[in-house]
Amino acid sequence: MQPFPFSAIVGQDEMKQAMILTAIDASIGGVLVFGDRGTGKSTAVRALAALLPPIKAIKGCPINGEKAKDVPDWAGLTSKRSHETPTPVVDLPLGATEDRVTGALDIEKALTKGEKAFQPGLLARANRGYLYIDEVNLLEDHIVDLLLDVAQSGENVVEREGLSIRHAARFVLVGSGNPEEGELRPQLLDRFGLSVEVASPKEVETRVEVIKRRDAFENDNAAFMLRWQAEDAAIRDKILTARKSLAKLKTSDKTLTDVAELCLALGSDGLRGELTLLKAARAYAAWRDDTALTRAHLRAVAPMALRHRLRRDPLDEAGSGTRVTRTVEEVLG
């Protein structure tokens, strides 16, 4: 069954916006969605997969290489024809072993033919696409370590069982989870470009609308999908236009100063905060079809780009999003 259409998700605008921004500029570095049970986290991520425009890739390439030279030698491909394929969205299940994530010795070939061959893992399949981890805060520590390394370098290096293989693994990390069930290590938190917090809608009308659409999706699927097809397509086109106009976007020095001042005032560690904020603001400006970056853009994306980079204040019950908004008001006026 096709996933729930992205455009049919009621409300949750910040989450949808964050996902669209990473679709425009993949180098922003992923989205982390934290929230209560039953707020549509998983629905949105699966919907995004269906929304994304297809990519060009060599047919049969294990790492979805775009050009013939991208195809690794160990793939053993003879014909290198390119075709259009949907943007890969790979699920990383909680129970995944290290072998399945990084790839390992192909046991079948080793046993039957006595050949030393490499069997690519989930990281290879996620190259140029999305890697989705549900319940990311419950992921085993040794898998987290592995992901950190690969997400940082964009390259998966396998040195085991006599194999020595490296291949590109550039993917957008999408994680979802419920913070009550376990904290995420700050190192992994930092690797996510944007972070959003979702909650159930509070107004009865909105809730009714959510239920209505879900009910229609389950019981009148064909008509429902048809109804939302056009709006999904509109979002897809807008993403493609934004990708093109991103390069032409002007960034003034004044904006750079604003970005730096904002991050200084918030005391976020490292420079990744500045870089992500800038990239996200640029993507947002492109999405809005604006030609120059302004403070309005910064203001709009600052909470999602920075809220997970603050030092945790155990007494702050309002959440770090409010802290960011307050500081943005102070710095940018």
Partner 1 sequence: MASQSWTHATLALQLLTVDPGLGGICIRARSGPVRDRLTAMIAANARRLHPAISDEALFGGLDLSATLASGHLVQQNGLLATPGPLVLAMAERATTALAARLAVALDRNDDHCLIALDEGAEPDEVLNPKLAERLAFHVDLSECRLNDAGDAVPVTRTKVALRDVTMPTDIIAQVTRIAVDLGIDSMRAPLFAMRAARAHAALAGNTKVTQDDLEIACALTLAHRATRIPEPETEEEPPAPPPEQNDENKGEDTLDLPDELLLEAVRALLPDNLLEQITARKARAGRGNGTGAARKGNRRGRPLPSRAGRISDGARIDIIGTLRAAAPWQTIRRNASGREGLQIRPADIRIKRFEEKSDRLLIFTVDASGSAALSRLAEAKGAVELLLAQAYARRDHVALVAFRGTEAELLLPPTRSLVQTKRRLAALPGGGGTPLAAGMVTAFDQATQASRRGLTPTIAILTDGRANIALDGRADRKQAATDAQQIARVLRASNVDAIVIDTGNRPEPALRNLAQTLDAAYLPLPRADAERLSKSVAAALAD
Q: Judged by CB under 8 A, does residue 318 bind partner 1?
A: no
Cβ 315 to partner 1 shortest distance, Å: 6
Cβ distance to partner 1 smaller for residue 142 or 326: 142
Cα separation of 13 and 31, whole Å?
A: 14
Cα separation of 89 and 179, whole Å?
A: 24
**b/e 280-294 (16+ beta carbons within 10 angstroms → b):** bbbbbbbbeeeeebe
Q: Judged by CB under 8 A, does residue 39 bind partner 1?
A: yes
Q: Which of 50, 60, 70, 98 binds partner 1 (CB under 8 A)?
A: 98
Of 76, 84, 36, whose CA–CA distance to 59 is shortest?
A: 84
Q: Which of 140, 261, 289, 330 binds partner 1 (CB under 8 A)?
A: 140
Burial of 278 (0-12, 13-18, 19+ CB in 10 A): buried
Interface size with partner 1, residues (CB under 8 A)? 42
Cβ distance to partner 1 smaller for residue 67 or 212: 212
How crowded is residue 90: how many other Cβ atoms within 10 Å of its Cβ? 18
Contacts with partner 1, 149-178, as mask; x by CB under 8 A: -----------------------------x
Q: Judged by CB under 8 A, does residue 290 bind partner 1?
A: no
Q: Which of 5, 25, 102, 134 binds partner 1 (CB under 8 A)?
A: 134
Tokens of 257: 């100063």
Cβ distance to partner 1 smaller for residue 220 or 330: 220
Q: Judged by CB under 8 A, does residue 141 bind partner 1?
A: yes
Q: Judged by CB under 8 A, does residue 321 bind partner 1?
A: no
Q: Which of 83, 166, 212, 326 binds partner 1 (CB under 8 A)?
A: 212
Residue 131 identity: L
- Side-chain-side CA neighbours of residue 193 (13 Å): 28
Q: Judged by CB under 8 A, does residue 319 bind partner 1?
A: no
For the chain, first and last CA: distance in Å? 48
Q: How far is CA 264 from CA 19, 128, 187, 269, 273, in A?
A: 26, 33, 20, 9, 10
Cβ 49 to partner 1 shortest distance, Å: 13
> Helix 13-24 and helix 295-306: axis angle, to 10°?
100
Q: List residues with catalytic annotation.
A: 272
Cβ 306 to partner 1 shortest distance, Å: 21
Q: Which of 69, 79, 95, 164 binds partner 1 (CB under 8 A)?
A: 95
Question: Are the beta carbons of 274 and 259 closer than 8 angstroms?
Answer: yes
Q: Which of 13, 84, 108, 330 binds partner 1 (CB under 8 A)?
A: 108
Residues found near partner 1 in the complex (CB under 8 A):
36-40, 42, 93-95, 97-98, 107-108, 111-112, 134-135, 137-142, 178, 180-183, 185, 200, 204, 207-208, 210-212, 214-215, 218-219, 314-315
